[in-house]
């Protein structure tokens, strides 16, 4: 039996179970977490193409699966990437019932994970663009819900991802069939433009971020963070595989310069937009863009260390964004009719602290999980690039100041701020998230084995 088939089969089974149990939120969230976690363990630890024994039964799982003439391969390159996605799912999906997310979140979330996993497995890998488009379609079903019926952001996302799909499909074909080299400058420019356009959309680089603040305004913040973490990770993994596969791309310094400049512009714009926000949800959306900008700066360095830091940042952001969105979901819970954020820190102290600590981590403040990655970026990679280093420092200070400002608003003393009662489990989730972020600041090496796993699969990019 092939590993790919097992992953798809079990993703479908767990998704179906979550769908059946959708009215029992705790059971549904547990099934989603156990399902995603068990698939992650399977992907990361079970040997493929080797015979192994379970009791007296010998089993051999093949890494390749052919369907409709296309190969879905569980190669060493994609195993840590798929494992990461399912682990991110196992971390983010269980809180669905705590934040009272739409009941279809867990089944559709699992299907989105399966689709993105397929995008990583498919060969030739340019077809990944089609699977990412399918994942974006799945996202529409949980971004637009009965509780959040507005759909402008979701429609924009769908439109942009469709453009990205064709842009990357055509780029892949031009690279494969037309044979781009330095001797074909016109074609090279065309390919670079198409590729940049496609990846800018997939990674929500401005001006293709327009769906994001709109969705933040319209949708459940926790669901939006899940979608963004998964889709942006898919786009990021797709980008590093593109860079790993085509020598012509790796040799173009202009491409890395372009990524670095895109990262600098994204970071500066996002910090500026964050500062002008009066809505916590939109602040979250722009903070997310700041984080993305720093990741792009790391990739744009064109250095191996920069790629490693970008990978570790992508790992840490899952936890930081999860904690931030968890806190925000409580603060913006419409059932509690919370419209005024002033003094909210006294009504919901733990949720406010989770939101602020999550934001601090995105900012890369010392003693939070985001700091080691940014510090390494500044000291190891960007020591010769003052503009990029200055941008990273600007983002850290800018978001740090914003955290202080929002802390002052949330904990502003007013009249009658009675704490809103919260049961033990939501408190446990919030406290656990905060502690995890602080622990990752002290033990950043926790993420290193995964980064090394990814690096060992991408042999051209990580020499």
Instruction: Write down the least CB distance from residue 273 to other proteins, Å.
Output: 21
Asked if 149 interacts with other proteins (CB under 8 A), we say: yes
Per rule CB under 8 A, is residue 137 in the interface with other proteins?
yes
For the sheet containing 70-73, what is the strand order? 64-67, 70-73, 122-123
What phi and psi values does residue 73 have, to the nearest 5 degrees? -110, 135
**What's the closest the beta carbon of residue 234 comes to other proteins, in angstroms?**
16
Compute the distance between CA of residue 426 and CA of residue 434 in angstroms, rounded to an integer. 12
Q: Give the C-alpha separation, 290 to 382, whole Å.
A: 17
For position 165 contacting other proteins by CB under 8 A, the verdict is yes
Q: From the DSSP assignment, how many helices (H) and strands (E) are in the chain?
A: 19, 5
Segment lying near other proteins (by CB under 8 A), choices 154-162, 201-209, 220-228, 393-401: 154-162
Using rule CB under 8 A, residue 23 touches other proteins: no
Which of 38, 62, 151, 192 is close enough to bind other proteins by CB under 8 A?
Answer: 151
Q: Which is nearer to other proteins, 38 or 151 (CB)?
A: 151
C-beta closer to other proteins: residue 173 or 445: 173
Q: Which is nearer to other proteins, 125 or 406 (CB)?
A: 125
Considering the rule CB under 8 A, would residue 155 count as an interface residue with other proteins? Answer: yes
69-88: contacts with other proteins (CB under 8 A) = 69-70
Please tell me whether residue 158 binds other proteins under the rule CB under 8 A.
yes
Instruction: Indicate whether 407 belongs to the interface with other proteins (CB under 8 A).
Output: no
Report the nearest approach of other proteins to the CB of residue 18 (Å).
Answer: 18
Residue 92 CB burial class (10 angstroms; 0-12, 13-18, ≥19): buried
Residue of 333, 331, 232, 345 whose CA lies nearest to 290: 232
For other proteins, how many residues bind (rule: CB under 8 A)?
35
For residue 58, give the H/E element and its range: strand 57-60
| Phi and psi at residue 187, to the nearest 5° | -65, -40
Spatial CA neighbour of 155 closest among 235, 231, 219, 230: 219
The secondary structure element, H or E, covering residue 201 is: helix 185-202
- Shortest CB 12 distance to other proteins, Å: 15
Q: Does 140 bind other proteins (CB under 8 A)?
A: yes
* By CB under 8 A, residue 8 contacts other proteins: no
Residue 171: which residues within 8 A CB-CB, separation 6 or more? 126, 191, 194, 195, 198
Q: Are strands 64-67 and 57-60 parallel, antiparallel or unpaired?
A: unpaired
* Residues 96, 222 contacting (CB under 8 angstroms): yes
Sites for other proteins among residues 173-232 (CB under 8 A): 173-174, 177-178, 187
**Beta strands 51-54 and 57-60: pairing type?**
antiparallel
Give CA–CA dist 223/142, Å, rounded: 7
CA gap 86, 351 in Å, rounded: 26
**Contact in structure between 252 and 239 (CB atoms under 8 Å):** no
List the structure tokens of 194: 């198409």
Instruction: Kindly state the smallest distance separating residue 19's Cβ from other proteins, in Å.
Output: 15
Q: Considering the complex, state which of residue 69 and residue 384 has its C-beta at the smaller distance from other proteins.
A: 69
- The piece of 36-44, 128-136, 438-446, 451-459 that touches other proteins (CB under 8 A) is 128-136
**Closer by beta carbon to other proteins, 178 or else 408:** 178
Q: How far is the CB of 130 from other proteins (least distance, A)?
A: 5
Q: Sort 186 into a burial class: Cβ within 10 Å, 0-12 / 13-18 / 19+.
A: exposed
Q: Closest Cα to residue 363, out of 293, 296, 411, 303?
A: 293
* Shortest CB 61 distance to other proteins, Å: 23
Give the distance from CA 438 to its chain's centroid: 20
Gap between the Cα atoms of 298 and 293, Å rounded: 9
125 binds other proteins (CB under 8 A): no
**In this structure, what token pair is assigned to residue 189?**
């420019």
Residues 43-72 that bind other proteins (CB under 8 A): 67-70
Site for other proteins contains 144 (CB under 8 A): yes
Q: Residue 70 or 427: which CB sits closer to other proteins?
A: 70
Sign of the CA dihedral running 369, 373, 374, 379? positive
Instruction: Name which of 131 and 197 has its Cβ closer to other proteins.
Output: 131
Closer CB to other proteins, 38 or 192, in the complex: 192
Toward other proteins, which CB reaches closer, 71 or 439?
71
Find the shortest distance in angstroms from Cβ 103 to other proteins: 14
| 73-81, 131-139, 313-321, 454-462 -> range binding other proteins (CB under 8 A) | 131-139
**Of 19, 170, 411, 446, which lies in the binding site for other proteins, with binding defined by CB under 8 A?**
170
List contacts with other proteins (CB under 8 A): 67-70, 127, 130-131, 133-134, 137-138, 140-141, 144-146, 149-152, 154-155, 158-159, 162-163, 165-166, 169-170, 173-174, 177-178, 187
């Amino acid at each position: 039996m092939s590993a790919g088939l097992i992953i798809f089969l079990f993703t479908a089974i767990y998704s179906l179970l979550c769908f059946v149990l959708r009215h029992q939120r705790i059971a549904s969230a547990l099934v989603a977490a156990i399902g995603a976690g068990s698939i992650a363990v399977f992907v990361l630890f079970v040997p493929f193409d080797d015979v192994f024994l379970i009791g007296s039964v010998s089993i051999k799982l093949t890494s390749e699966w052919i369907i409709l003439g296309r190969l879905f391969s569980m190669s060493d390159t994609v195993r840590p990437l798929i494992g990461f996605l399912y682990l991110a799912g196992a971390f983010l999906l269980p809180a669905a019932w705590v934040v009272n997310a739409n009941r279809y979140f867990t089944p559709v979330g699992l299907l989105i994970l399966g689709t993105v996993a397929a995008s990583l497995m498919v060969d030739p890998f340019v077809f990944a663009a089609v699977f990412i488009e399918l994942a974006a379609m799945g996202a529409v079903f949980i971004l637009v819900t009965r509780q959040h019926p507005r759909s402008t952001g979701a429609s924009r996302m769908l439109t942009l991802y469709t453009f990205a799909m064709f842009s990357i499909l055509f780029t892949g074909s031009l690279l494969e069939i037309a044979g781009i080299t330095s001797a074909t400058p016109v074609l090279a420019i065309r390919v670079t433009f198409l590729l940049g356009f496609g990846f800018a959309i997939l990674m929500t680089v401005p001006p293709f971020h327009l769906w994001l603040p709109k969705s933040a305004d319209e949708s459940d913040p926790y669901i939006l963070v899940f979608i963004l973490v998964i889709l942006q990770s898919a786009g990021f993994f797709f980008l590093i595989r593109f860079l790993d596969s085509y020598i012509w791309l790796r040799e173009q310094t202009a491409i890395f310069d372009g990524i670095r400049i895109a990262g600098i512009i994204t970071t500066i714009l996002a910090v500026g937009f964050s500062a002008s926000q009066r809505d916590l949800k939109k602040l979250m959306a722009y903070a997310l863009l700041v984080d993305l900008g720093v990741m792009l700066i790391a990739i744009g360095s064109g250095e191996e260390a920069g790629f490693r830091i970008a990978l570790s940042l992508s790992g840490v952001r899952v936890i930081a964004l999860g904690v931030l969105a968890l806190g925000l979901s409580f603060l913006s819970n419409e059932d509690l009719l919370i419209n005024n954020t002033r003094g909210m820190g006294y009504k919901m102290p733990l949720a406010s602290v989770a939101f602020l600590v999550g934001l601090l981590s995105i900012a890369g403040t010392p003693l939070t999980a985001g700091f080691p990655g940014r510090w390494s970026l500044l000291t190891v990679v960007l020591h010769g690039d003052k503009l990029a280093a200055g941008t990273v420092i600007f983002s850290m200070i800018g978001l740090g100041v914003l955290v202080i400002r929002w802390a002052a608003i949330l904990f502003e003393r007013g009249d009658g701020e009675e704490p809103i009662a919260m049961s033990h489990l939501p408190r446990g989730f919030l406290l656990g998230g905060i502690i995890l972020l602080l622990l990752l600041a002290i033990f950043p090496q926790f993420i290193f084995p995964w980064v090394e796993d990814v690096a060992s699969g991408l042999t051209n990019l990580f020499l």
